[in-house]
Amino acid sequence: MRPLRWGMIGGGEGAFIGAVHRMAARVDGRYQLVAGVFSSDAEKTKRSALALNVDPARAYPSVEAMIAAEKARPDGVEVVSVVTPNHMHYPQSAAFLEAGIDVICDKPLTTNTPDADKLVKLAAEKKRLLGVTFNYTGYPMIRHAKQLIADGLIGQLRVVQAEYPQGWLATLLEKTGQKQAGWRTDPKQAGAGALGDIGSHSFQLVEFVTGEKVSEVAADVSALVPGRVIDDNVNVLLRFASGARGSLWASQVAIGHLNSHRLRVYGENGSILWFQERPEELTVIEAGQAPQLVRRGDPGTPTSSVALPGGHPEGFIEAFSQLYTDFAERVTARLESRSPKAASLFAPDAATGARVMAFIEAVLKSGQANSAWTRI
Amino acid sequence: MRPLRWGMIGGGEGAFIGAVHRMAARVDGRYQLVAGVFSSDAEKTKRSALALNVDPARAYPSVEAMIAAEKARPDGVEVVSVVTPNHMHYPQSAAFLEAGIDVICDKPLTTNTPDADKLVKLAAEKKRLLGVTFNYTGYPMIRHAKQLIADGLIGQLRVVQAEYPQGWLATLLEKTGQKQAGWRTDPKQAGAGALGDIGSHSFQLVEFVTGEKVSEVAADVSALVPGRVIDDNVNVLLRFASGARGSLWASQVAIGHLNSHRLRVYGENGSILWFQERPEELTVIEAGQAPQLVRRGDPGTPTSSVALPGGHPEGFIEAFSQLYTDFAERVTARLESRSPKAASLFAPDAATGARVMAFIEAVLKSGQANSAWTRI
Amino acid sequence: MRPLRWGMIGGGEGAFIGAVHRMAARVDGRYQLVAGVFSSDAEKTKRSALALNVDPARAYPSVEAMIAAEKARPDGVEVVSVVTPNHMHYPQSAAFLEAGIDVICDKPLTTNTPDADKLVKLAAEKKRLLGVTFNYTGYPMIRHAKQLIADGLIGQLRVVQAEYPQGWLATLLEKTGQKQAGWRTDPKQAGAGALGDIGSHSFQLVEFVTGEKVSEVAADVSALVPGRVIDDNVNVLLRFASGARGSLWASQVAIGHLNSHRLRVYGENGSILWFQERPEELTVIEAGQAPQLVRRGDPGTPTSSVALPGGHPEGFIEAFSQLYTDFAERVTARLESRSPKAASLFAPDAATGARVMAFIEAVLKSGQANSAWTRI
Amino acid sequence: MRPLRWGMIGGGEGAFIGAVHRMAARVDGRYQLVAGVFSSDAEKTKRSALALNVDPARAYPSVEAMIAAEKARPDGVEVVSVVTPNHMHYPQSAAFLEAGIDVICDKPLTTNTPDADKLVKLAAEKKRLLGVTFNYTGYPMIRHAKQLIADGLIGQLRVVQAEYPQGWLATLLEKTGQKQAGWRTDPKQAGAGALGDIGSHSFQLVEFVTGEKVSEVAADVSALVPGRVIDDNVNVLLRFASGARGSLWASQVAIGHLNSHRLRVYGENGSILWFQERPEELTVIEAGQAPQLVRRGDPGTPTSSVALPGGHPEGFIEAFSQLYTDFAERVTARLESRSPKAASLFAPDAATGARVMAFIEAVLKSGQANSAWTRI
């Protein structure tokens, strides 16, 4: 199977998430990195190309230059990953879609809902993929949870408790020159703080796993570290269209937590619990029975694209890689004029990206209205 | 050491919480059960006296009869435990306090704040104990958590996440004749549902451990099981007087949970986490260090009144017994005209009972006002 | 129900295990302490009687004096608990059995197998109870494990992994004057070290839960702390009569462990895992299914005599109390000339005590023979 | 940085471990697969080359053909991975070493110690790498454990408890045509069963982490599934040259376990515990302190080559990839005539492979001698 000709926008020297995308694509094995704009700094782009074994001639100074040159080649890029700062996601994704090139965009899709809606429309018009890497949907046990719920295991949904606490911003790290802290706490670059960075993941997983829509939110949005100018702790009450209730907590000041992303879903007949720091396990409870600790590899659980035997831990990269597998399948299916395999549709795309933007905006609005219930 | 002459109001045949109080008192060893009104049914009271090895002559048909007879004896009861249905707590506790007899009352103290306030006042006037058995305060590791926070380990409080999920009322159990479900879901007998039964414990523990006051609440109060006439799921946002934030979740429909009472407290310098189903452990995190799993028996942890070596699990009865130890110390100190040992003051009394009633009323009010922030 | 008239031999001021027996008996509520030889020091016995609310006239200077006086009373003791140092268990238990008084003896039953065998015989001749408090058999989830295995859940037994690590003797604590460390590391008083103190519990639980007999052992018996004169770490290979295999590890030098008594049993169709520091849980695995985390209170689990709802942790005292409940039932049944309830037969008696002595002797013999396989 | 020109021997269609090696190499990014003998079946080799995007001209029918052709090219392979059945490891590794090509060999290195010793010698003579993928040494927290112990945290070693239970061979799976079960239970292909497959990993980790040598073993080697002709359960007592004691258990019949590889190390001043199914955590206990749950990312922990932030789980592939990183560094250092970075020396090589063979042979010998102590 010929690998897809792949480009990267962003992801040069020292970039965290760019390196993750690359490892994910490599584990999958269906992508060959052949071109890119690895940095806004042309020199850095050249150096990155060298380090990444990419032909320096295909390391471009700008998206426009890249599109022009690559469209002119018979072996031009087929798909690009956009891993630049959040505010660049919209124009860059739009440019590639306009050029008929499939796009994999890091989350968040944009910095506001109108832009997100435009991208949804554009991807549909151009019939191109606009995948968004809400990576937790790549975990096999998350997909298993979604399937069990879709199959009716827990019956009518009643309560959802979602949370994503971290502790790394418990001090004013952004004042120390730390790069990750810097842009993530800058309202201009990041839009929202804990809410956008991690609350977004939590919300996305809630709707992904339950298959239900949150209809309104009541939120207490706080900057708890003195001197911080963006939210670092968000407590949100949730109401679902179906009448279910819940809450969502995202925090970057919860000392001791690394990425303690947790989802607990309760229905009339059972419950499902998941915790990102032990992503290979799912606690499944059917009413009237003892809890089951279902592990990847136990009977009935799905196989990941990496396909390790159960008990050989798969983690963050493998889940990320699953999305790349899914995106490759969808791009390839189009190139081959066939339907993609159903499982590949689990991977989130522009509609999900737009939905998450709407959530973020509703939470911020509720926060400004002293936690009044606000529709998404 | 002579045991205290002890009476019980309620706690006859088949009563759950009465049996717990008795085991707690026996483990402590400082109480001798000598009299009681074990049931509103005089026959049942007699039978219970027999089963409990109490002189049948001191098994009374009413609180009034008991007070009259016992006050007339040189060896009359010194302290009574009130373990009757909630709406009886107020008149019965008041009657014994009026008679100068110390009272240990099961929670909730009353069914409304005016009554609770009257009891606070009455106990003060009569200089008698009105202990309230918020039993989770008896766990050694909860006291250790309180002490660590009081000593400044976590610094300024920032976030509190409290929860108490159960799953036993996920169906309309109250329609099946089950006794515990019956009275606990009857608004007339119970006042509030999940909120009063378990949310109260969660709130009480929040203020006990942090040493801070919740100033206002925004609550979503729900009856999620169709046909139920009282709340069975409550999601509450918390704001503290100090500016800290948090949330509290109490639910009786979370299938799979037994008594998953959990408290997580985050400050500017560290965090403390506790979980009732593993009550002997505390996760203690100091900023910049790996989490510590502190177990009862590890250096610096307090000794319970039962004083088992660490690793020999103490549980619910032992924690309950700790309160009885504390109450015995306070009664004995008064009888001996001395100050009680400081540790005995950890055990909650009428003021705590009144505070919890105020919380319950604020949550219900917020719930009726579509989750508007409401002062406690 | 009239409580049994109960005496204690040992268990005076400052005794750890005596206090545990008392709490266990009190929680049960079927015992009234009326007499005793609480110490070998008559003064201490008197003081203890006072503290325990026992008539000083029934606080005796010797077992002989106690038997003579109590037999002469119409309301003499019916059952005694022997909680003296190990080497006194044999003569004292024998004396009470000879006098027709039921005995509850702390473990180990004796310090050698001939004595243990004599007690087995004597109890049978006198038709009296000689209960031995191997307390871990009192945990409801241990009894549940035994029942599941007896019912065939795991099929033919294959492997047993048993262990009981502690860390408290990782230094020469016995040289510091610490009382518990002193007698437990003195070969004359204790017979064996880690092997006798905790390895005995581990072995007893293996045979109790599996219902099978260990036929031979190969043991490496070590004193790992320089200067210690008794074993503090024992690694034992096990072979069962049925052909199953396994190992047993007991250690007092495993720093960090409190009482990490663990039992894992594997059969041809499933497995059962238990851990004393979380005694309310059992991991139950049936071949081809995900593990179940069965908690006391889940469907099908037994009720303890304390009968708390699941999720209200029962612990060490409650398990100990279960044995006292069982012993009370067996004594009462004899007094009432009826058969005891079947469940009360779970509580270990002299035969178990003798079996454990045989295990200890076989392990020591194997250890002296450079780990040669040695029959029990 | 130019990637190394890399070849594979084995690892064609359907091969589990070959795919793992490829993912590991790709994640690392320092290897470019350019040639191979992917199967003993030449057709399969061709098909595999196609699937792997390797020039079909460099897909060879035999090792000899590959060496001849590649040595003749200016851009011939620099390093090969040998992932064939165990009995092929020796001749194939030897052939490449003889040709001056670096080798990464899957474990076990050979099927007997003389062959292993020859390879140790040959690699030394030829000054080439002979890396062996004992992959658990690639976990960051395993390296952290080794470092803590080397730094003296636990002092003198006292006890080691090692185990590696699995449950997948609890039935005669080898009779069903399952490929993995087939060759792993065939004495001719595998040499030893549970002992060689997983006991080898457990032993290797014991010596790697403690930095000490096991001097003798006493082993009970069993085939517990009726009809099986190779060991599926091994219980081993360990004695260390330093006087420390321990045990090792490897089983493939422990139903419910996936890859429950666990290592517990106890010294005079502390303990370290690790569990492969939660590989990112280490329990570290210093005498007199509460246990610490140290997670990758906590202060003082090492960075893996993948370098994910703590709490983003790294797993099996990432650990495997770490070895490939280390091997790449060692090969590159030689090519560049410099010393390799110290950390790269953690990755096991031929000496480790030979040591493990000696362990396996000692255990089998002890097993045949009714568990007599046998020197390694």
Q: Note the pLDDT tens digit of each residue in A133-191.
A: 999 999 999 999 999 999 999 999 999 999 999 999 999 999 998 888 888 888 888 87
| C-beta atoms of C291 and A290 within 8 A | no
| C-beta atoms of B290 and D290 within 8 A | no
* DSSP calls for D301-322: PPPPSS-PPTTS---HHHHHHH
| C-beta atoms of D308 and A316 within 8 A | yes
Q: Who among C171, C253, C371 is closest to D159 (CB)?
A: C253
Q: Is residue C239 helix, strand or coil? A: strand
The answer to whether C186 and C179 have CB atoms below 8 angstroms apart is: no
B257-274 per-residue burial string, b: 16 or more CB within 10 A, e: under 16? bbbbbbbbbbbbbbbbbb
The HSE-up count of residue C229 (CA atoms within 13 Å, CB side) is 12
The count of other CB atoms within 10 Å of the CB of residue B217 is 26
Is C285 at the interface with chain D, CB within 8 A?
yes
Mutate to test the interface with C, among B17, B258, B260 (most CBs of C within 10 A): B258
Q: Compute CA A13 distance to the chain's CA centroid, rounded to the nearest angstrom.
A: 22
Q: Is the pLDDT of residue B270 over 70?
A: yes
Is C16 at the interface with chain B, CB within 8 A?
yes
DSSP secondary structure code for residue B270 in this structure: E
| C-beta atoms of A23 and D23 within 8 A | no
Is A311 at the interface with chain C, CB within 8 A?
no
Is B260 at the interface with chain A, CB within 8 A?
no
What pLDDT is stored for residue D1 in this prediction? 61
Q: Is the pLDDT of residue A119 over 90?
A: yes
Q: Who among C218, C224, C291 is closest to D218 (CB)?
A: C218
Is C320 at the interface with chain D, CB within 8 A?
no
Q: Which helix (H) or strand (E) holds B66?
A: helix B63-72
Comparing CA positions, the residue from D316, D228, D233 lying closest to residue D280 is D316
Which residues in chain D are closer than 8 Å to C245, comparing Cβ atoms?
A: 220, 222, 224, 233, 235
Q: Give mean pLDDT, residues B110-124.
A: 97
Q: What does the CA dihedral D166, D218, D146, B299 come to, rounded to 10 degrees?
A: 90
Q: Residue B333 and residue B78: Cα distance in Å, rounded?
A: 13
pLDDT, one tens digit per residue, over C346-365 is 999 999 999 999 999 999 99
Q: What does the CA dihedral A140, A144, A147, A153 come to, rounded to 10 degrees?
A: -170
The HSE-up count of residue D34 (CA atoms within 13 Å, CB side) is 15
Mutate to test the interface with A, among C284, C298, C301 (most CBs of A within 10 A): C298
All partners of chain A with 3 or more CB pairs under 8 angstroms: B, C, D
Q: Residue B87 and residue B10: Cα distance in Å, rounded?
A: 13
Please report where in the chains the tokens 């658990």 appear, as a residue: D136
Is D307 at the interface with chain A, CB within 8 A?
yes
Is D55 at the interface with chain A, CB within 8 A?
no
All partners of chain D with 3 or more CB pairs under 8 angstroms: A, B, C
Which residues in chain C are closer than 8 Å to A283, comparing Cβ atoms?
A: 293
Angle between helices D350-368 and D200-210 (to 10 degrees): 120
pLDDT, one tens digit per residue, over B11-44 is 998 888 999 999 999 999 999 999 999 999 999 9
Amino acid type, C112 = N
The answer to whether D246 and D122 have CB atoms below 8 angstroms apart is: no
CB pairs under 8 A between B and D: 34
DSSP secondary structure code for residue C136 in this structure: G
How many angstroms away from the CA of B226 is the closest CA of chain A? Answer: 10
Q: Give mean pLDDT, residues B261-285.
A: 98
The answer to whether A267 and A154 have CB atoms below 8 angstroms apart is: yes
Strand pairing partners for D272?
D265, D284
What pLDDT is stored for residue D285 in this prediction? 98
Comparing CA positions, the residue from B246, B278, B248, B282 lying closest to residue B260 is B278
Angle between helices B350-368 and B113-126 (to 10 degrees): 170
Is A2 at the interface with chain D, CB within 8 A?
yes
How many angstroms away from the CA of B266 is the closest CA of chain A? Answer: 6
Low pLDDT (below 70) residues in chain D:
1
Q: In B245-289, which ranges are E strands?
A: 245-251, 262-267, 270-275, 281-286
Residue C130 has φ and ψ, to the nearest 5°, of -130, 85
The count of other CB atoms within 10 Å of the CB of residue C351 is 17
Q: Is residue C368 helix, strand or coil? A: helix
Q: Is residue A33 helix, strand or coil? A: strand
What angle (nearest 5°) sits at the alpha carbon of residue B314, between those of residues B309 and B317? Answer: 140
How many angstroms away from the CA of B370 is the closest CA of chain C? Answer: 33
Is A3 at the interface with chain D, CB within 8 A?
yes
Residue A9 has φ and ψ, to the nearest 5°, of -110, 115
pLDDT, one tens digit per residue, over A302-359 is 999 999 999 999 999 999 999 999 999 999 999 999 999 999 999 999 999 999 999 9
Residues A330, A332, A337, A343, CA torsion sign: negative
What pLDDT is stored for residue B209 in this prediction? 98
DSSP secondary structure code for residue D337 in this structure: T
Q: Who among C288, C289, C293 is closest to A291 (CB)?
A: C293
DSSP secondary structure code for residue C265 in this structure: E
Q: Who among D27, D258, D313 is closest to A311 (CB)?
A: D258
Mutate to test the interface with B, among D292, D296, D301 (most CBs of B within 10 A): D292
How many angstroms away from the CA of A354 is the closest CA of chain D? Answer: 25
- Under the banding of pLDDT at 50, 70 and 90, the label for residue A1 is low
From chain C residues 110-129, the ones with a CB under 8 A of any chain D CB are: none
Distant-in-sequence, close-in-space partners of A176: CB < 8 Å, separation ≥ 6: none
pLDDT, one tens digit per residue, over C280-315 is 999 999 999 999 999 999 999 999 999 999 999 999
Distant-in-sequence, close-in-space partners of C74: CB < 8 Å, separation ≥ 6: none
Q: Which residue has the higher pLDDT, C165 or A13?
A: C165
Q: In D142-210, which ranges are E strands?
A: 157-165
Please state, rounded to an integer, the average pLDDT across all residues of chain B: 96
Please report where in the chains the tokens 């995106």 appear, as a residue: A327
- Under the banding of pLDDT at 50, 70 and 90, the label for residue B184 is confident
Q: What percent of chain A has pLDDT over 90?
A: 93
Please report where in the chains the tokens 């990993």 appear, as a residue: D201
Please state, rounded to an integer, the average pLDDT across all residues of chain A: 96
Q: Residue A5 and residue A2: Cα distance in Å, rounded?
A: 9
The HSE-up count of residue C90 (CA atoms within 13 Å, CB side) is 15
Q: Is residue A270 helix, strand or coil? A: strand
What angle (nearest 5°) sits at the alpha carbon of residue A166, between those of residues A165 and A170? Answer: 120
| C-beta atoms of D224 and C158 within 8 A | yes
Structure tokens at A236: 């949100």
Comparing CA positions, the residue from C121, C1, C21 lying closest to residue C80 is C21
Q: What does the CA dihedral B238, B240, B244, B246 come to, rounded to 10 degrees?
A: -20
Structure tokens at B340: 């009680």
Complex ipTM > 0.90: yes
pLDDT, one tens digit per residue, over B127-144 is 999 999 999 999 999 999
Please report where in the chains the tokens 């581990």 appear, as a residue: C202
Q: Is the pLDDT of residue B168 over 80?
A: yes
| C-beta atoms of D254 and C218 within 8 A | no
Q: Is the pLDDT of residue C1 over 80?
A: no
Q: Who among B163, B239, B287 is closest to A170 (CB)?
A: B287
Amino acid type, C374 = T
What pLDDT is stored for residue D191 in this prediction? 79
Q: Give mean pLDDT, residues B64-75.
A: 98
Largest CA distance in chain D: 65
What pLDDT is stored for residue A191 in this prediction? 79
Please state, rounded to an integer, the average pLDDT across all residues of chain C: 96
Mutate to test the interface with A, among B160, B221, B235 (most CBs of A within 10 A): B235
| C-beta atoms of C316 and B310 within 8 A | no
What pLDDT is stored for residue B183 in this prediction? 85
Q: Who among B163, B224, B373 is closest to A158 (CB)?
A: B224
What pLDDT is stored for residue D15 in this prediction? 80
Q: What does the CA dihedral A203, A205, A210, A211 come to, rounded to 10 degrees?
A: 90
| C-beta atoms of D245 and C266 within 8 A | no
Q: Residue D367 and residue D232: Cα distance in Å, rounded?
A: 13
What pLDDT is stored for residue A192 in this prediction? 87
CA distances (Å), A349 to each of A124, A133, A334, in order? 11, 8, 15
> Number of helices and strands (H, E) in chain C?
12, 14
Strand pairing partners for C248?
C162, C236
Is B290 at the interface with chain D, CB within 8 A?
yes
Q: Who among A53, A295, A315 is closest to D318 (CB)?
A: A315
Which residues in chain D are closer than 8 Å to B145, comparing Cβ atoms?
A: none
pLDDT, one tens digit per residue, over C209-232 is 999 999 999 999 999 999 999 999
CA distances (Å), C41 to each of C37, C81, C188, in order? 9, 18, 20
Q: Residue A282 and residue A273: Cα distance in Å, rounded?
A: 6
Mutate to test the interface with A, among C292, C295, C296, C301 (most CBs of A within 10 A): C292
The count of other CB atoms within 10 Å of the CB of residue C124 is 13
Is B22 at the interface with chain C, CB within 8 A?
yes
Give the nearest chain D residue to B296 (CA atoms).
Answer: D290
Give the nearest chain D residue to C170 (CA atoms).
Answer: D268
| C-beta atoms of B298 and D292 within 8 A | no
The answer to whether C199 and C136 have CB atoms below 8 angstroms apart is: no
